[in-house]
Amino acid sequence: MDTNKLEIGQEVWIKSGIYGKKAKVVEVTERGVEVELLRAEGPIGLKYGIRFDTSGRACDSRDIYEGNMWGGPDPRIPGTHEFGPWELDEGPDYMPECTDPSCTLPRDLKHRHTI
C-alpha cells in the first residue's frame, strides 16, 4: 500500500486479520493519510477518524477516534485485540461479507474466515 496514491474521497478498506471495515480518505499528507469510517461501520460515538502512516499502518488516533483500540503495547492505536492495529488495504471490493449462518463472530464486524 502506497498512501501517496490515495486521493481524498476515495473509498478504502481497513483490515485487521480477518476483520474489515470500509472507510473514506479525508486527508492525504506526506506523513500518511486520515480516513473516516462509514457511519454504518464506525464506533458508537462522534469520532470516526483513523490516521495511517505512509506504509498504511494505523497511528495514534485518540483525538479523532472513539472505537476500540488495539490494546497492545501502544494503546493509542485503533485495532482489534485478536489481530492488532488496523491496516489500509486496497478498496473497495476487498472484503466479502460472511454468509455463514452458524458463525459466532461479532455481526457488527465484517469479516471472512481466512486471513
Interaction site with Zn ion (CB under 5 A): 98, 100, 103, 105
Pick the closer one to Zn ion by CB: 26 or 105: 105
| Least distance from Zn ion to the Cβ atom of residue 95, Å | 12
CB atoms within 10 A of CB 9: 8
Pick the closer one to Zn ion by CB: 1 or 105: 105
| Least distance from Zn ion to the Cβ atom of residue 115, Å | 13
Pick the closer one to Zn ion by CB: 75 or 106: 106
Give me the DSSP letters along the chain.
--GGG--TT-EEEEEETTEEEEEEEEEEETTEEEEEE-TTTS-SSS-BEEEEETTSBB---TTTB-S-B--SS-TTSBEETTTEE-EEE--SS--PPP--TT--S-TTSEE-S--
| Least distance from Zn ion to the Cβ atom of residue 102, Å | 9
| Least distance from Zn ion to the Cβ atom of residue 30, Å | 38
Pick the closer one to Zn ion by CB: 53 or 100: 100
